[in-house]
């Protein structure tokens, strides 16, 4: 472009500017308007929301048809500082070739499926819950095994160990064997109670991994929103910087008020503040995801992939039914109730005696060998101090388990309805943004561009309308993430996958 087509904003305002502006007023006016339309064309053709993006693209095409303005290819926003830093590190060789550069704008991406697979392999809570189940399962055969038999040896009639006095009928070497025999049914009840406890731990394991995966999905969706917000705000910041140049140029020739410049500068500073906060949020979310994957907090993490809206194909009543039938915590508590019932039956069995049998062999030198058999009964003589309180304890534990089941069920239905309301509300808002708010705000901005060209609206109105469109775009993605998070938090409640 020829030298006369540029305005050097950095030069002090003076009479020379008036001469330069007068010489090129026509060219500069058309250049400024072309720049303005080009800036908003970038807004309209930005990464999309689906249907509204197509509409915005159409608005951009109509904008370029006004007056045959040139394509403002050179006015697209600069890449973010994070992008530039990543490229500087890559070109300078400072980054380790084996280490992934994890910054917003990095070319590396990480999918939710990859993170879920790694979490199932590495998450300490999931691994600990699995080992807890293995531990409880290993107790089942222990509880059904009979008591260990007793084998003993002894000697009688002499102080020397295992020596006898020849000819003394009371002196002998003795080998004895005894076995305790619980009352029939006790061991079986102990085994059934242990089996119910092991099954309860299996449901606890399922609850743990489903909850961890839901937490991972929520963190991933939050990270996606932070990165999407960073992308949008960075783009808006670049556009506002171009608007600031136009406002400064018009102000220096008396065509605009100083407040136009100040307002644009203020909005740019606000966006810088938001980008700083988003950077902090991204670091926090990366650390959260790394914790779920048992990684160091500073471990690099690639960019998220584009999130597609899921679906909630069930009614609230259907969700209630699935939750009541499959919620892991509810199933776990049902197994605790079964265990408590077996414990009550076992406590009743303790009123019956246990038995023991024994066998003895007596070796007497130079005298006939002797044999002995014994049978004993363990009498529950102090049942009012031991067995009866044990039965009361087991009955109280059963009642407690049933009350806890009712409480879990009530809390479960609340959580299902809460997430259902969040999801359905977000879905309605998404539809409203797609079909109403964003197209209407876009048309308002289009109208303000046309009016600004003929002087019908001021710069502040144009700037406000531009920021409004981008605010609604952020709101759209916020509701998209809210919807996905609600589905993710429903998954542990109904034990069914709703998002991918």
Lowest mean pLDDT among 79-93, 305-319, 370-384: 79-93
Question: What is residue 446's predicted lDDT score, i.e. its pLDDT?
Answer: 85
First to last CA, the chain: 51
What are the tens digits of pLDDT across the range 411-442?
999 999 999 999 999 999 999 999 899 999 98
Q: How confident is the model at residue 244 (pLDDT cuts 50, 70, 90)?
A: confident
Task: Say how many residues make up the chain.
Answer: 500
Contact by Cβ (8 Å): 43, 470: yes
Is-above-0.95 flag for pTM? no
| pLDDT at 13 > cutoff 80 | no
Lowest mean pLDDT among 119-123, 262-266, 365-369: 365-369
Using DSSP's 3-state secondary structure scheme, residue 360 falls into strand
Lowest mean pLDDT among 42-56, 457-471, 481-495: 42-56
Q: How confident is the model at residue 219 (pLDDT cuts 50, 70, 90)?
A: very high
Lowest mean pLDDT among 53-67, 269-283, 370-384, 475-489: 53-67
- Tokens 């194909």 found at: 313
Contact by Cβ (8 Å): 246, 32: yes
C-alpha–C-alpha distance, residues 182 and 349, integer Å: 10
Architecture of domain 3-76+108-132+197-333+401-494 in this structure: Up-down Bundle (1.20)
- Tokens 């503040």 found at: 273
Distance of CA 298 to the CA centre of its chain: 18
Q: In terms of DSSP bridges, do strands 303-304 and 109-110 run parallel, antiparallel, or are they unpaired?
A: parallel
Q: Which residues contact 426 (CB under 8 A, 6 or more apart)?
A: 479, 480, 482, 483, 486
| Other CB atoms within 10 A of residue 266 CB | 12
Q: Which residues contact 49 (CB under 8 A, 6 or more apart)?
A: 433, 434, 438, 473, 476, 477
Q: How do the domains of the chain map onto residue ranges?
A: 3-76+108-132+197-333+401-494
- Tokens 């064309």 found at: 41
Q: In terms of DSSP bridges, do strands 354-363 and 370-378 run parallel, antiparallel, or are they unpaired?
A: antiparallel
Using DSSP's 3-state secondary structure scheme, residue 173 falls into strand
Residue 264, CB-side half-sphere exposure with 13 Å CA sphere:
26
Work out the average pLDDT over 266-273: 91
| Other CB atoms within 10 A of residue 73 CB | 8
């Amino acid at each position: 472009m020829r030298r006369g087509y540029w305005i050097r904003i950095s030069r002090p305002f003076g009479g020379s500017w008036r001469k330069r502006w007068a010489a090129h007023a026509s060219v500069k006016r058309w250049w400024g308007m072309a720049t303005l339309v080009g800036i908003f064309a970038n807004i309209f053709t930005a990464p999309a929301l689906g249907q509204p993006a197509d509409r915005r693209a159409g608005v951009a095409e109509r904008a370029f048809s006004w007056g045959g303005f040139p394509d403002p290819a050179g006015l697209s926003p600069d890449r973010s500082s994070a992008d530039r830093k990543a490229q500087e590190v890559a070109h300078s060789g400072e980054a380790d070739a084996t280490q992934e550069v994890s910054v917003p704008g990095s070319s590396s991406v990480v999918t939710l499926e990859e993170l879920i697979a790694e979490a199932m392999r590495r998450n300490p809570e999931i691994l600990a819950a699995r080992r807890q189940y293995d531990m409880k399962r290993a107790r089942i055969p222990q509880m059904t095994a009979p008591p260990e038999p007793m084998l003993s040896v002894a000697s009688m009639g002499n102080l020397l160990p295992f020596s006898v006095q020849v000819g003394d009928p009371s002196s002998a070497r003795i080998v004895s064997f005894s076995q305790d025999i619980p009352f029939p049914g006790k061991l079986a009840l102990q085994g059934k109670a242990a089996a119910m406890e092991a099954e309860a731990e299996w449901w606890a394991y399922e609850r743990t991994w489903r909850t961890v995966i839901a937490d991972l999905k929520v963190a991933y969706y939050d990270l996606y929103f932070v990165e999407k917000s960073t992308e949008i705000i960075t783009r808006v910041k670049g556009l506002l910087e171009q608007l600031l140049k136009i406002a400064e140029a018009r102000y220096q020739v008396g065509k605009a008020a100083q407040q136009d410049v100040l307002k644009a500068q203020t909005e740019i500073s606000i966006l810088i503040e938001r980008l700083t906060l988003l950077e902090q949020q991204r670091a926090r979310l990366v650390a959260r995801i790394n914790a779920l994957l048992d990684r160091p907090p500073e471990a690099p993490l690639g960019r998220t992939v584009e999130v597609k809206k899921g679906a909630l194909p069930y009614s609230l009543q259907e969700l209630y039914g699935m939750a009541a039938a499959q919620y892991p915590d509810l199933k776990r508590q049902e197994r605790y109730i079964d265990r408590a019932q077996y414990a009550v039956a076992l406590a009743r069995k303790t009123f019956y005696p246990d038995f023991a049998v024994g066998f003895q062999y007596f070796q007497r030198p130079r005298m006939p060998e002797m044999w002995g058999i014994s049978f004993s009964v363990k009498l529950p003589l102090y049942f009012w101090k031991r067995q009866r309180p044990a039965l009361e304890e087991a009955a109280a534990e059963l009642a407690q388990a049933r009350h806890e089941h009712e409480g879990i069920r009530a809390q479960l239905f609340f959580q299902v309805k809460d997430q259902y309301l969040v999801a359905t509300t977000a879905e309605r808002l998404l539809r409203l943004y797609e079909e109403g708010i964003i197209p209407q705000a876009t048309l308002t901005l289009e109208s303000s561009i046309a009016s600004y060209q003929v002087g019908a609206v001021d710069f502040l109105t144009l700037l406000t309308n531009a920021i409004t469109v981008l605010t609604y775009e952020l709101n759209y993605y916020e509701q998209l993430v809210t919807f996905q998070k609600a589905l993710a938090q429903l998954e542990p409640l109904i034990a069914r996958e709703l998002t991918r």
